[in-house]
Amino acid sequence: PSARLIVDHDFIISELDRRIFGTFVEHMGRCVYTGIFEPGHPTADEQGFRQDVAELTRELGTTIVRYPGGNFLSGYNWEDGVGPVEKRPRRLDLAWFSTETNAFGTNEFIDWSRKVGVEPMFGVNLGTRDHDEARRFIEYCNHPGGTELSELRKSHGYEKPHDIKFWCLGNEMDGPWQIGAKTAGEYGRIAHETAKVMRWVDPSIELAACGSSNRDMATYARWEYEVLDHCFDYVDFISLHTYFQNPHDSTEEFLGNIELLEAFIREVVAIADAVAATRRSPKRIMLSLDEWNVWYKARTHEHLRKPGWPEHPPLIEEVYNTEDALLVGGALITLLNNADRVKCACIAQLVNIIGPIMTEPGGAAWRQTIFHPFALTARHAHGRVLRSLISSPSYAGKTAPEIPYLHACVTEDETTGQVTIFALNRHLGEPMDLEVLLRGFGGNRQVVEALQIHHPNMKAVNTKDAQDTVAPAPIEKVSLEGDRLQARLMPGSWNVIVTA
Ligand code: AHR
């Protein structure tokens, strides 16, 4: 097919909040243990942080990392994970039916995040605990000194406050699987009180209330409304979680599912703004898509639980293929096009657990297919997102009656002058002739980089022994003359074209 995109320098959606390039580290399976942290690994530093994983995390370009859960959060006592390691308790983790050793905790995560160069994003446990625990925890983390809890932090070797800015008020509190699940009314009240006292301890923080666990929850939409109706005045964000699935084992349908994310975002924005309207409030609640990814292959009971309360067993180690990489790239385009309201997003998770990075205990670390579109987008999407006017033929899917073959967005970095086009060709049988009109950016522009993610086999994967089966490669046909860019996009491909 042929498709056309018009973009104008002056038509801006929003400045980009680079916290949309977040990831997630949960105490689950091998994400922490033998993922980011493995004392004795050949690359481990003096704190046991795997440097091969740290290096890949930097290359991934993630900006903010959510911790420590997930479902794990709802049974977690932060006190278990601070202070001398030899005194830390071993506990049953009822989220994942594992034994938690607590060898890694808050302070280790802060050290890891500083070393890797990412912002920490923390959750407070609203499953088994409440606003009292949350106020104590933030005092431990963020209060400069002179109180029992801030002095306790200092006695643990952390003189300066951790200064954690972004906090999640619990996790998936609507889910029956959650330890201490709540009704919207119960959660809305506790979220309000927790947010209030946490802000009183540190007014500089940002807070996210839990939205629904996913868009298919029976209470979806009513949950968001009722929760925000309680805590609107004290929170900045409402969270969204979504895991893409491929129920028809059809690449076309699967890539069409990206449209569901657009619908999800619009609906949650509408609900948040409806709550604002009842208060005649100009305040706008922003969206934090703080868990998202492809996850459907490693979802059975055996993937979620191992018998015998093991320590860090391998759980949900989804192996990603070509079509998963295309979907992740396409979902990032949707996030960028909604940059006015989506100000934070965390692909879940970082390593081993449904992650862009895989490791072997004691051995190698490598990039899964989904690593590449994420890393390329994080590297090249800077500045602001511009409005793209797209004309493209469409196909009909089960997800939506009209799914345009072209899914695209454009960013402009005024500091470097770079204008970057991200484009997914959802046509699986034919290349796409794409024409982009770049209006108002000045002449003498050139293509400085043009890369694609493409593989003729949609089920191709990267493994320890074949790590680069699906990896970025140059786009062969791309040209720019004046304000007219032309490119031939391979069938079933995700592409990034950087001009300057
Ligand atoms: O990311 C895996 C799990 O998925 C998280 O712990 C939970 O929040 C979600 O249901």
Angle, helices 322-337 vs 371-380, to 10°: value is: 30
Lookup result for tokens 């643990």: 156
Q: For residue 50, what pLDDT is reported? A: 98
Ligand 1 midpoint to CA 26 (Å): 8
**Residue 205 to residues 90, 122, 134, 167: CA-CA distances in angstroms?**
31, 11, 13, 7
What pLDDT, on the 0 to 100 scale, is given for residue 442?
A: 86
pLDDT of residue 443: 78
Q: Which of 30, 126, 171 is the pocket-test mutation for ligand 1 (most atoms within 8 Å of CB)? A: 171
Q: For residues 378 and 371, give the distance between their C-alpha atoms in angstroms, rounded to a whole number.
A: 11
Distance CA 142, CA 205 (A): 10
- ipTM of predicted assembly, 2 dp: 0.99
Contact 387, 483 (CB under 8 A): no
Closest CA relative to residue 63, chosen from 337, 377, 384? 377
Superfamily of domain 2-10+385-499, CATH level 4: Golgi alpha-mannosidase II (2.60.40.1180)
Is the C-beta atom of 75 inside 6 A of ligand 1? no
**Distance between CA atoms of 392 and 389, rounded to whole angstroms?**
10
Instruction: Compute CA distances 275 → 85, 172, 262, whole Å.
Output: 46, 20, 20
Give residue 323's pLDDT. Answer: 98
Buried b (16+ CB within 10 A) or exposed e, 203-230: eebbbbbbbbbbbebeebeebbebbbbb
- Residue in the structure block whose two tokens are 């029976």: 218
Cα 13 to middle of ligand 1, angstroms:
31
Domain extents for the chain? 2-10+385-499, 17-380
* Interval between CA 244 and ligand 1 midpoint (Å): 13
Asked whether 348 lines ligand 1 (CB < 6 A), one says yes
Q: Would you state the pLDDT for residue 119? A: 98
Protein residue with least CA distance to atom 2, ligand 1: 70
Q: Is the CB of 172 under 6 A from ligand 1?
A: yes
Cβ–ligand 1 distance for 69 under 6 Å, the answer: yes
Cβ contact 75:127 at 8 Å: yes
Q: Which atom of ligand 1 is nearest to the CA of 177?
A: 10
DSSP letter at 49? B
| Ligand 1 pocket residue status of 349, Cβ below 6 Å | yes
CA–CA distances in Å: residue 452 to residues 70, 347, 457 = 33, 21, 15
d(CA 322, CA 184): 39
pLDDT at 314: 97
| CA dist., res. 340 & res. 129, Å (int) | 34
8 class by beta-carbon count within 10 Å (0-12 exposed, 13-18 middle, 19+ buried): middle
Q: Would you say the CATH fold of 17-380 matches that of 2-10+385-499? A: no
Pick the CATH number of 17-380 from 2.60.120.10, 3.40.50.20, 3.40.980.10, 3.20.20.80: 3.20.20.80
Type of residue found at 142? N
Sequence-distant (≥ 6) Cβ neighbours of residue 201 within 8 angstroms: 135, 138, 139, 142, 143
From first to last of its 500 residues, the chain has per-residue pLDDT tens of: 999 999 999 999 999 999 999 999 999 999 999 999 999 999 999 999 999 999 999 999 999 999 999 999 999 999 999 999 999 999 999 999 999 999 999 999 999 999 999 999 999 999 999 999 999 999 999 999 999 999 999 999 999 999 999 999 999 999 999 999 999 999 999 999 999 999 999 999 999 999 999 999 999 999 999 999 999 999 999 999 999 999 999 999 999 999 999 999 999 999 999 999 999 999 999 999 999 999 999 999 999 999 999 999 999 999 999 999 999 999 999 999 999 999 999 999 999 999 999 999 999 999 999 999 999 999 999 999 999 999 999 999 988 899 999 999 999 999 999 999 999 999 999 999 999 999 999 878 999 999 999 999 999 999 999 999 999 999 999 999 999 999 999 999 999 999 99
Residue type, 240: L
Q: How high is the pLDDT of residue 222?
A: 98
Ligand 1 atom at shortest distance from the alpha carbon of 72 = 6
- Report the C-alpha gap between 59 and 371 in whole angstroms: 9
Tokens for 162, please give them: 């951790």
User: Is-contact 21 119, C-beta < 8 A?
Assistant: no
Measure Cα distances from 388 to 13, 259, 385, 422 in Å.
Answer: 9, 16, 9, 11
329-369, pLDDT tens digit by residue? 999 999 999 999 999 999 999 999 999 999 999 999 999 99
- The answer, yes or no, to whether any atom of ligand 1 lies below 6 A from the CB of 291, is yes
What sign does the dihedral 376-450-428-401 (CA atoms) show? positive
Ligand 1 lined by 178 (C-beta under 6 Å): no
> What are the residue numbers of the active site?
172, 291
